[in-house]
């Protein structure tokens, strides 16, 4: 029966040395029920949407049945968590295998919350409905925003409670990724694996993610450089929409350059580089303004794990790795500046652009301006009615910006089109996400999530239907906090 669904599994990760995983079947649950299914993603994966909603499809999403061709396992990896290095691994996730799509693409299919594994570290291996729906909403919003990300195929409720501070309804998320290879996977190999196992992992990563560098003179140095490029581009995209990951540990940094792990993440309202939402980030290590620097720090840890492959002489390996890492700040800045120019309708480059951008951000911070709505207002030409737009500082900045726009060949209409395509009208506002989760978890009402997902699927539409989703939450003396979900 599972063949009708369209699963076409390969299990290349399972062909790596056994040190990188433990074979692990999901633990069955009692009363699985489909909560939400990503139909468009299912179709792109080559899956039968109708069959996925049937008994066999739900059983697979719940971990009650292993589809034909799958080889379930839990991956081993390590990581620097808030700067402290430790052994980790999939403590509440099972990789079913890799789906080969009709286009020949390869995607990991992972269950999140299907029970304990050897890496659970005292945890129950389960997940609550709220955090799994949260990952579904945010990851799909990120995809629509054009930001590389893991995606969510489905969420099922388990009919069983999970115990956190209270009893919560249990759920399992099916996550789709280009791969789940992490910086922490390489740290694990370099610390606890043999030189041969580290090489096998690096060769696998190159073949799977960067086949174009297989023939390079030094493919392992090329791997480092490619991952640096991907992460510089990714983190700049986070900054351009005000996304705060919340837990940028090295085990949450992918080799593919995808955003992964939507635990205590959130989107910034008022522009402030010091913004932190995560309840566990008491020191602000992963604050919005720190994300680019933390990306560089994590990449340095990746470089360290590759040293013995980069060159047999350690000093030479360190020099080559340092030279590669030294390129990261400029790569990040180039991506960010390019993105900010687009947000302001600028096609060409002038040396004063960085100062123009900084001046706007400084005024936004002074007046507590909403990040997304400020750029939306500039895009649609409605800059009135707020402290920011009524200030003399903004008026001065606006004159300089208009003058700058006039020094390029492109028309005003072309600039407006560029801004519409670069400035989202809507993001997953924290209060909107919380309202959708409350409706689903507390009342079993999924219509709020469905409407929110529909609006978020076209963030650059700038249509009237999005208007109500641009409004800010009511002022509160209680700061918004997010939690990791474990």
CB 340 within 8 A of CB 236: no
User: In this structure, how many other beta carbons lie within 10 angstroms of the beta carbon of residue 283?
Assistant: 10
Whose structure tokens read 């990188």? Answer: 20
DSSP class of 182: B
CB 337 within 8 A of CB 351: no
Q: What sections of 328-486 are H helices per DSSP?
A: 328-343, 353-366, 371-380, 392-405, 412-422, 430-443, 447-456
CB 77 within 8 A of CB 184: yes
Residue 478: the pLDDT is 67
Tell me the sheet residues that pair with 163: 167
Residue among 368, 321, 344, 331 nearest 420 (CA): 344
pLDDT tens, position by position, 279-291 = 889 899 999 999 9
CB 259 within 8 A of CB 278: no
Tell me the sheet residues that pair with 93: 112
Helix (H) or strand (E) holding 318: helix 314-325
CA distance 322 to 93: 34
Helix (H) or strand (E) holding 145: none
Residue 3: the pLDDT is 59
Q: How far is Cα of residue 387 from the mean position of the Cα atoms in its chain?
A: 33
- The stretches in the chain having pLDDT less than 70 are 1-3, 477-478, 484-486
Residue among 28, 361, 463, 30 nearest 454 (CA): 463
CA distance 140 to 428: 10
CA distance 297 to 134: 28
Residue 425: the pLDDT is 98
Where do the domains of the chain lie? 2-177, 183-336, 344-486
Alpha carbon dihedral 163, 167, 172, 175, in 10-degree steps, equals -70
DSSP class of 72: -
CA distance 461 to 425: 7
Distances in Å between the Cα of 477 and the Cα atoms of 193, 371, 481 are 50, 20, 12
Residue among 88, 96, 92, 84 nearest 59 (CA): 96
Tokens of 207: 């073949």
Whose structure tokens read 């590759």? Answer: 306
Residue among 97, 95, 124, 99 nearest 112 (CA): 95
Helical packing angle, 328-343 and 291-310, nearest 10°: 140
Whose structure tokens read 């709505």? Answer: 373
Residue 280: the pLDDT is 87
CB 10 within 8 A of CB 106: yes
Residue among 416, 100, 82 nearest 278 (CA): 82
Whose structure tokens read 């940028």? Answer: 248
Q: Mapping DSSP to helix (H, G, I), strand (E, B) and coil, where does residue 284 land?
A: coil
121-142: b or e for each residue (b if 16 or more CB lie within 10 Å)?
A: eeebbbbbbbbbbbbbbbbbbb
Q: What percentage of the chain's residues is helix, strand, coil (to nearest 5)?
A: 45, 15, 35
CA distance 186 to 19: 12
Tokens of 44: 């792109």
Residue 242: the pLDDT is 98
- Please identify every residue annotated as catalytic: 251
CA distance 79 to 89: 9
Residue 1: the pLDDT is 47
pLDDT tens, position by position, 42-81 = 999 999 999 999 999 999 999 999 999 999 999 999 999 9
Residue 477: the pLDDT is 61
Helix (H) or strand (E) holding 350: none
Helix (H) or strand (E) holding 81: strand 78-81
């Amino acid at each position: 029966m599972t063949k009708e669904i369209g699963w076409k599994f390969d299990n290349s990760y399972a062909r790596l040395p056994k040190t990188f995983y433990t074979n692990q079947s999901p633990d069955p649950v009692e009363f699985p029920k489909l909560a939400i299914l990503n139909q468009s993603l299912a179709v792109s994966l080559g899956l039968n949407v109708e069959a996925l909603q049937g008994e066999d499809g739900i059983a697979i999403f719940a971990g009650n049945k292993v589809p034909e061709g799958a080889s379930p396992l839990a991956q081993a990896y390590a990581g620097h968590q808030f700067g402290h290095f430790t052994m980790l691994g999939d403590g509440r996730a099972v990789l079913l295998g890799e789906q080969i799509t009709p286009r020949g693409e390869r995607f990991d299919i992972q269950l999140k919350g299907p029970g304990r594994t050897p890496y659970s570290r005292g945890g129950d291996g389960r997940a609550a409905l709220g955090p799994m729906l949260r990952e579904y909403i945010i990851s799909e919003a990120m995809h629509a925003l054009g930001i590389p990300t893991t995606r969510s195929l489905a969420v099922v409720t388990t009919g069983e409670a999970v115990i956190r501070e209270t009893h919560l309804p249990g759920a399992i998320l099916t996550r789709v990724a280009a791969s789940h290879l992490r910086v922490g996977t390489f740290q694990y190999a370099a610390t606890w694996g043999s030189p041969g196992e580290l090489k096998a992992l690096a060769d696998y990563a190159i073949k799977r993610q960067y086949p174009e560098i297989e023939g390079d003179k030094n493919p392992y140095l090329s791997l480092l450089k490619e991952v640096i490029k991907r992460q510089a581009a990714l983190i700049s995209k986070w900054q351009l929409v005000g996304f705060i990951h919340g837990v940028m540990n090295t085990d949450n940094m992918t080799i593919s350059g995808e955003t992964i792990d939507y635990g205590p993440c959130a989107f910034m309202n008022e522009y402030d580089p010091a913004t932190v939402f995560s309840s566990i980030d008491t020191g602000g290590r992963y604050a919005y303004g720190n994300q680019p620097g933390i990306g560089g720090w994590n990449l340095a840890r990746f470089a360290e794990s590759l040293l013995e492959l980069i060159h047999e002489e350690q000093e030479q390996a360190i020099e080559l790795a340092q030279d590669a890492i030294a390129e990261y700040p400029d790569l990040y800045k180039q991506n960010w500046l390019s993105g900010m120019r687009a947000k302001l309708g600028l096609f060409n480059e002038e040396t004063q652009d960085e100062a123009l951008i900084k001046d706007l951000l400084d005024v936004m911070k002074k007046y507590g301006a909403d990040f997304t709505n400020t750029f939306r207002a500039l895009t649609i030409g409605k800059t009135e009615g707020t402290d920011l737009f009524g200030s003399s500082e903004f008026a001065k900045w606006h004159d300089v910006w208009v003058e700058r726009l006039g020094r390029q060949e492109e028309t005003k209409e072309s600039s407006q089109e560029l801004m519409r395509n670069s400035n989202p009208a809507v993001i997953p506002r924290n209060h909107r996400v919380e309202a959708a989760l409350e409706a689903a978890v507390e009342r079993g009402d999924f219509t709020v999530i469905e409407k929110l997902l529909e609006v978020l699927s076209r963030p650059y539409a700038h249509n009237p239907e999005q208007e109500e989703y641009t409004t800010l939450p009511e002022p509160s003396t209680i700061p918004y906090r997010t939690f990791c979900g474990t």
